[in-house]
Structures are given as structure tokens and as C-alpha cells.
Structure 1
Amino acid sequence: MDPIDAERLREDLERLVRIPSIAFDGHPRAPLDEAAALVKELLPGSRYVDVPGEAPSVYAEYGEPGTGPTVLLYAHYDVQPAPTEGWESDPFEPTLRGNRLYGRGAADDKSGVVGHLAALRAYDFKPPVHTKVLIEGSEENGRQRILEVVDAQPDLMRADLLVIADGGNWKLGEPTLCTTLRGHGKLTVTLRTLENALHSGMFGGAAPDALLALVRLLATLHDDDGNVAVKGLSDSTWAGADLPEPDFRRQAGVLDGVSLIGGGSVADRLWASHAVSVLGLDAPAVEGAGNIVIPVARAKVAVRIPQGADPVDSMDAVERHLRAHTPWGAALDIEVEPASSPLALEADAAAARALEAAYGKPVAVMGSGGSIPLVARLAEVYPEAKIVLWGAQDSDAAQIHAANESVDLTELEAIARTHALLLQQLAESEG
């Protein structure tokens, strides 16, 4: 195994970041095809995999089948939209400040793409174990049409170890293995109180306002301390490493004097408990708002479901709560988007050894409050496979999905080295 080529690693990342490969409606298709073509160019012998209605994925295989376990390396080249507000530099012109490279996708998840590339390049694309690579082009938009490919071509991604490079360490420079993902469901809640809007001077004070009713209803989801107040939810405690509150406050950007919500350790709240959030509200904008009593209001509510809880039971409990607490007899309509199942990931020994060797320090075992539907589906389709979730998206400053997204180049090099060492560990274990 050769050393990781840090200069080429950065060069590959900069080339990818310059391409605005946004896979959302309303954005052009051409940059996605350009990014796919570049990934295909960088992966010798690769080919496109058609994904229904989306930009193609790129697939390659290296090493001989039967030479130890088969490994699948996954990442995605598509990115979130990047409104320029808040950015200190052009989001699609990679910019180096200190040791961090800034740009949309620099962390999520073009860092995963180039990390895989660098690891394979360290073996001159002749890894010591059979290695598959799949780089997706439509992960961010939520449509998850890659799952149709998994179902239609189950052998394509079949492997003994699935390495998902779409995560990060709990803190910069602190090697982390993720062992749980929460499930994720949503409810769209619509309240109606009036046949039509009314003049607030003539009717306000007696006519029930739908937006006020909705605000009151949403407020019942938590108690005064911010604990989820829905009966029938099954929470637990986190048995792995804790996340220190000062680190969490810094990473989350919690303002001075503002308390965290909920009780128990930070790890309990993030990885072992339900979380309920309001994702959006349909209501008149402040700018230009009229003097009206509002007849209808709508909200989207998200529910994160921890390991050990049943996603159907959890969503049912939240729906029951909303129906039981609707104020003033308002007409309530709820559309439920079924929740994905929470997932437990075995802390793979070879992956832990590779992380420890790359970083030179012990590995922390933590969870993820997020949900990755592809990972849950892969676990269903390949129940015997082990799954590793890691990457260069550190929690300190990566700012994924936000303005000034960035990746620490030292962290990226360490993750690339981890990928390469993992292939070596697997070959040695087989031997």
C-alpha cells in the first residue's frame, strides 16, 4: 500500500466541488451529468448504472472475487442547493481557509467520493480484497430511487462489508464508529376552523384562528423542559460513549444563555430517545400580512425513532396525541409518511482497527441521530453483511447542508487512509 496522495486528494475534491451537481427539481440536469462523467473518469474501468428518473450512479469493481471478503464502498456526488446568502465565498469555487476547504459538497459527500478514490489509488486500483464501488447521483433529494436499483439488481451491491462514507467523527480528529441510526417518519398536520378568512377587527376575539390553534397543538408535543410529551413512546439510555455538553453546544451553535432541551445525557437525547421537530409551517408571511383571522394552517412534523422502538407504534402514538389535543374542536387532517426503522450497526473489528491505526488513538463508539434510508434498505436486502458508516464530515465545523460547508483536509486524508487500511486489515484477517 502506497501513502495517500494528499495533493491529488485535494485536486480531485476541488474539481468535483466546482460542479453544481444539485439533484433537486428546478435545477439543471447538465451539472449532474458532468459530475457523473468526472467520477467515471476518475474510476478506471467504471460504468454507469441507470437510476429511474435520476442522474446515473457510477459503478466499478476491483480485485478478484474470492480474494477475501467482498467490500462495497459507497458515496454520492450530488449536493444540496446552495443559496448564496451566508456564504463567505462562492459555494462552487473551492476556497482554502486555514486547513479547511470550503464549498458546497466539500464535506457532504464529495469528500466520501475522493476518500474512496485515494484509498484505491494507494493500491493502484488493485486492492488486496474484492472491492466494489458505487457512487450515487441522487441521494440528497429524498426520492431514494436508488432503492429501485437495489431491488431490481440485488447482486450489484451485494458484499460482506458495506462502507458508507457519508458521516463523520463526533469531533475533529477523534475516530468514531457509528453503531445506530434513528428511524424517521413525518406527519403533515392540517387544521381548519373557518370557511374563509375574516377581518380580525370584526371577528377577532370570538372566531377561532387556525394558525393559533395549530401553534397551541404543536406546543403540546413537548413539556416545559423540552421533553417529548407524547404518551406511549419507548425511550432508553445510551450505553456507549457520551457526547460532552460543551462540545455539543459548540457544534450546534447554541446561543449563550439558551438551555438544551430534554433530560438525561446528551447521548441519551440524541441516540436513544425520540425527537419531535416541526419542519415547516404554511401560514401567511410576516411581510405583507393582512388583518385577518386565518381559516386554515398546516405544519410538517418529523419524528426520529430510536433503536428498540417500533416505528409503527411510535407514529401511531404521535398521531393519537395530536388528535387528542386538537383545540377548540378544529377540523384536523393528518397525512402520515411511514417511518423508516431504526438500525443497529455492529462495531466491526477490522473497521475499528483501521480507524485506530489511521488516527493513532482509541475509537469512540457513538450513535447517529440521523437516518439514512439506503442503509436501512441495504440491511434488509443483505442481512448477513456488516455495515460501516464513517467519513470526513466532522461535527465541529463541516456545516453540511448550510452556508460555508467545509472539510478539514487533514481529516479527509485520515479517512482516506482509514479506507485503505481497512482493505489491508480484511486481507490480513482472511490470510
Structure 2
Amino acid sequence: MTTVNFSSFTLPHLFGGLAPSAGLAEITTNIERNLAEVAVLDGSAQSFMADAAALKTLLEGGAPLGTILAQQEKGTQSLVFISPDEQEKVRAVVQAAMASWFRARQPLGYAAGRTFSAAEVGGRTAVQNLDMLVSIPSVSDSQTMPNRQVGDVMEAIHSLLTGVGFQVEILRGEGNPLVYAQRIVDPANPTVLIYAHADVQPVKEREWEHDPYKVYYKNGRLYGRGTADNKSGTVSAMAAVEAFDRAGVELPVNVVVIVEGEEEVLSPNLGGHLLQIQERLQSRGLAPGALVVTDGVNVDTHIPTIAVSARGVANFKVRVQTAEGGVHPGLNPQVPSAFQAWSVLENDVLRDEGVDLVVEELRGLVPPIPNELITSWRESGLDNRTVESILRVSGRMLDGVRLAVSGSHLLAEVGRQFSATTMDLRQIVEDGQMPGVIPHAVEGTLQLRIPPGVDADQAAEIFIQLLNHARPLGAHVAAERVGPVVSPWEGPLDHPALQIMGAALAAGYGRPSVLLPIGGSNGFLHPFSRMFPQTPLLMIGLADPTANIHGPNESLDVGDLLAQTHAIIAFLSMMGET
């Protein structure tokens, strides 16, 4: 049999599954026994023991313990054996790298004042750190920047990252500050950037079941403003790096953590901060090999997802008018309401009976769906029936309401097609107009979402020409562009770092990852792409369909929080092998 030296026995081997081995079987049997004891003490034995057994199987390479022992008795030469003097080193790596995974499968509530694992000794837990950050109402407001409480949360993050060995700066300038933290192991090692943001959306407290600025636990989820979007990103990045320290294993890559304070207001000053960051990296001779963005989504709970594209956006102010002024509805029923004309514009001119955008000039611009995406969805079991259920939950749709998208691949319709949505609509009231008249004019905002691979300015020009030439019910339409046009973003599907992230997420969550085109837009995508054009941007996150980010009772799945931490550990380890 072959003896494996610890120098070659790295975390990627663990995460990828090992060949059956007696030495590793002993380690994982002890892990299973210890986990079972913790589970019994806490009253959650059934699910916890099952997951402990699943972990044991993963580490053994998929072979049952009995098979391993039988093979060893027969002297099978294909076995890989870890010598006894290496077992303690392996045990330390396993305990540190998988600690978050263990805790994820025993979702103890913060409200009950318990930690995730009875085996954890000292230090901060991920939930305690998350609760501390959530307790700071760091709402970003573009009208009053810099926002004091965004500054407060940056100071808190500065303290947390300093505590786990980072060199930390708070970069200031126009607007809100940004945290820049680095742990440089060796400039010759690969460098990984990790991005999160710590600003949040405002809350309407009367709509929340509990205090939005205190993490509380319910049914396997942690609730609070900023849990999923996106203070958990900082927490999981920090926990991942800390795991290496607990294990006594040297960090395999240089890690740079960037925490922004203006994402919720479209990152107006990120470009200036990134210029400073680029100068700091260049002064150390560091070239980022990957940028891990933690502000993404999971297509569903427990389904790890990599966002590979995002749609662009353009906004238009539109006025629809059917008469010179308001008239009596009883005496003039022949006059169509401007609201009726707007409805016809949106549902018949722009859409096919209120569903898909049917502007042929626009649909002809959309490139085909990449085969990599179709394969990813098929292998993950994401057929249209499953996706429709997910979309209904994510959209908080009422029973019986039709989806406003259709097609053979609903995920593509959501993320790789045009859509137009009325964002606001109001009646135009003339001076001196009496109440109770037919609305003769309305004005509103139409928002056009632009799929990846499409020239955003060209699409916006086609759309505005269509609006200005439309005559719904014969009404007059006048449209103009409002604000800047944001181009779509698309990452490379063939970059090795994307494949590594897919493997890392599979290790963290215990199932294959999904490639997803997201329908939204993010202000940070283009500044990062311009500043680091050779660096692959890998967007992961914890906003699942029930997270309700930006809304009341925002939450994340507690298991997925620790699964993401585990995935980041795996990614850093695998990148260290490149």
C-alpha cells in the first residue's frame, strides 16, 4: 500500500473525496461518534447523525466502512493508507475545515442563546458576529452621505477582521467609507479578493415580526435586516480564514477582503476606492487570481449557485394622453381613460397578453442560451415545473396569478431576456380640474431590463422609438430616457476559477452548484470589471427565494451560512493549488 505524505495531503483532496483508507476510516468513525453524542445531548440526534454519517462517507470516498475493512483484510493494493503519525495532522485539518459544516447541520437558535456546536471552544461564532453587525442600522442614503451608522459598521468590521489577523484600513473619500483588509502570506502565492457590502435597505418596523436589528432564529433561519443582504458575506469570509488558523494550517493564498458601504445606492464611489486598492495591490506585487463576490443568490435553499451574468437596465418617463382635459364620465363614456390606454400599451403593445415582451426588434438582439447553462440546469433537476414553484415563492405571488414570463427555460426567460415593467404610475391633474372626471393623462416610469450580450444603448434607443410611435387605443405617447443606461454584465463560462468555485460549492453544500443568469443589476459589477479586467468575478450568496431581501423579515438559512463558509475554505484551498 502507498503512504501519503501530509505535504501532498491538502484540503482539495478532502473536499473531492478520498480513496478508501483504514486510517481515515478511524478518524471519521470518531468524528461520527462525537457528533452523535453532541446531537443526542441537544435532542436533534436523527438529522444530525444522518449528516455525520454522510460526512464520513464523503471523506472515505464513498465506500462503506465495512467494505474498506474487508478490502484491507484481502490486502487490496489499490488502497491509500494514511500512516498513524499523519493522522493527528489530518484530524486537525478535518476539524477546522469542516467545523462550519458540522454546525450547519445542527441549527441552534441565537434567540435561545446557544452556540452552533457544543464542541466549539471560545472565540466568536458566526452568528454572534452576524448579530453584532445586524444590530447597527447601517442604512445608506445617497442624499445624506456619508451616513454615520455606515461608518459605525465599518469600524466594527475593522475590529473583527483585525482580530483574525488582517491588516485593515478604512478608506475614506466622497460618500461612505470602505473597508480594505489584507492577509498576505507570500506575494508569490495566488491572491483572492472577497467582496461584501455592509450597508442595508431601510425598514418599516411595523411590518416585521421581531426587531429587524437583532438576529433571531426561527425554523432553521436567521432573521434580521442585512442577514442575507449582505452582512453574512463578511461573516463567512472571516470565518473561513479563521478556520485555517484554528487548524494550524497556513493560509494557502493571499486574501483581500473588501467591504463596501454604498451597494444599496448603486456604488457611486466604488471606482475611486478600487483605484486606491489597485495601487495597494500593485505596490505588493499582487495580481488577483479571482474575485469572490458574496452578494449573489441561491436559486433555492440548499442549492449553491454561481451568478454568471446580470441584466442591464434603462428607465423611461412615459406620458400617455387620451383627451385635452378631464371630462364627465357619465356624459362622455366614449373617452377612454388614460389608465386604460397605459394598460393596452404595456399588455398588448409591449407584451403578448401581458406575458412576454414581444418587441421583435429587441428579441432579435438576444444571443442563444449557452450550453453550459442548459447542462447545469438539467443536471440540477431544475425543470420548468420546479423553477415555476421557486419563482412563485421568490416573487411572493398570490395563488392563481400568472407568471409574466414563459418559455422552454424559465431561468433563461428571467435572466437572459428583455422585460419591461411599470415602476410607478400617476394621474396628471390639470390646475382647477374638478374631481370625478375621466383621467385624460397619466405619467409613469417604464423600466427596461437588458439581457447579457446586448448593446444597452442600442436597446434603449429601439425601445424609446417604439414607445414614441405607439398609439394604444389611439392615445398619444411621449417618452424620454431618465438617468444613465446600465449595461449588462457577463462572466466567462470557461475560466478555470469558475470550475474551481463549482467544485468548492459542491463541497460546501453537498450537491452540485448551478449556473444562473440573474435578472437584476448590481452597481459594483462594472467598476470591478473595469479595474480588474483579467480577474474572473465569481458571484455567490445566500439570498434564496424566501430571504425577502429589501423587504420585511429578511432572513437566511442558517445551514447555508455555514455551507458558504465551508465553500470559501474549499475555494481558497483549491486556489492555493493552482
TM-score (norm 2): 0.67
Aligned-pair distance for 1:198?
4.0
Q: Residue 276 of structure 1 aligns with which residue?
A: 420
Partner of 2:462: 317
Answer 1 or 2: which has greater helix percent. Answer: 2
Q: Identity of counterpart residues, as a percentage?
A: 26
Kept in 1, the 8 Å contact 2:306–2:515? The answer is: yes
Is the CA contact (8 Å cut-off) linking 2:137 and 2:213 kept in structure 1?
yes
Residue 186 of structure 1 and its aligned partner are, at CA, apart by 1.7
CA distance in 2, matches of 1:198, 1:263: 38
- What corresponds to 1:301 in structure 2? 446
Q: How many residues align?
A: 423
Work out whether residues 64 and 130 of structure 1, in 8 Å CA contact, stay in contact via their aligned partners in 2.
yes
Structure 1: runs of 5+ lacking an equivalent: none
Query: Is 1:32 paired with 2:177?
Result: no
Residue 141 of structure 1: aligned partner: 265
**Is the CA contact (8 Å cut-off) linking 2:213 and 2:225 kept in structure 1?**
yes
- CA distance change for structure 1 residues 379 and 27 in 2, over 3 Å: closer, same or farther? closer
Any conservation in 1 of the 2:452–2:489 contact (CA below 8 Å)? Answer: yes
Measured after TM superposition, the shift of residue 202 of structure 1 is: 9.0
Q: Offset of 1:171 from its aligned partner? A: 1.4
Could you tell me how far apart the structure 2 residues matched to 1:412 and 1:67 are? Answer: 31
User: Residues 27-81 of structure 1: CA distance to partner in whole angstroms, max 9, x if unpaired?
Assistant: 79332221111111111131111141x2211111102352322111100000011
The answer to whether the aligner puts 1:171 opposite 2:300 as a matched pair is yes
Stretches of structure 2 that go unaligned for 5 or more consecutive residues are 1-92, 104-114, 116-124, 282-286
**CA radius of gyration, larger in:** 2
Shift of 1:237: 3.6
Q: Structure 1 CA distance, aligned partners of 2:178 and 2:158? A: 9
Q: Against the structure 1 CA distance between its residues 216 and 16, is the aligned structure 2 distance closer, same or farther, given a 3 Å change threshold? A: same
Structure 1 window deviating more from structure 2 (410-419 vs 150-159): it is: 150-159
Identify the range of structure 1 (267-276 vs 372-381) with the bigger mean alpha-carbon deviation: 372-381
| CA 379–143 in structure 1, closer or farther in 2 if over 3 Å, else same | closer
- Matched with 1:251 is 394
Query: How far apart, CA to CA, are the structure 1 residues paired with 2:519 and 2:201?
Result: 19
Deviation at 1:294, TM superposition (A): 4.2
Q: Find the aligned partners of 1:201 and 1:275 in 2 and give their Cα distance.
A: 34
Which amino acid is the alignment partner of residue 325 of structure 1? A
1:426 Cα offset (Å): 0.9
2:186 aligned with 1:57: no
1:61-106 Cα distance to aligned partner (Å, 9 max, x none): 1023523221111000000111124321121122111221111111
Q: Does structure 2 retain, via aligned residues, the 8 Å contact 1:340–1:373?
A: no
Report the counterpart of residue 218 of structure 1 in structure 2.
346
State yes or no: 1:418 paired with 2:563: no
2:491 maps to 1:341:
no
Does the 8 Å contact 1:67/1:129 carry over to 2?
no
The answer for the alignment partner of 2:234 in structure 1 is 113
User: In 2, Cα distance between the equivalents of 1:105 and 1:307?
Assistant: 28
Counterpart Cα distance in 2 of 1:174 and 1:340: 28
Letter of the 1:20 partner, please give it: P
- Indicate which of 388, 403, 407 corresponds to 1:260: 403
1:406 aligns with 2:528: no
Mapped contact 1:238–1:271 kept (Cα < 8 A): no
Alignment of 1:93-242 (within 5 A): 93-124=214-245, 127-142=251-266, 144-151=268-275, 154-155=278-279, 159-191=288-320, 198=326, 200=328, 205=333, 210-219=338-347, 220-224=349-353, 226-233=355-362, 234-235=365-366, 236-237=368-369, 239=371, 240=373, 241-242=376-377
1:332 aligns with 2:482: no
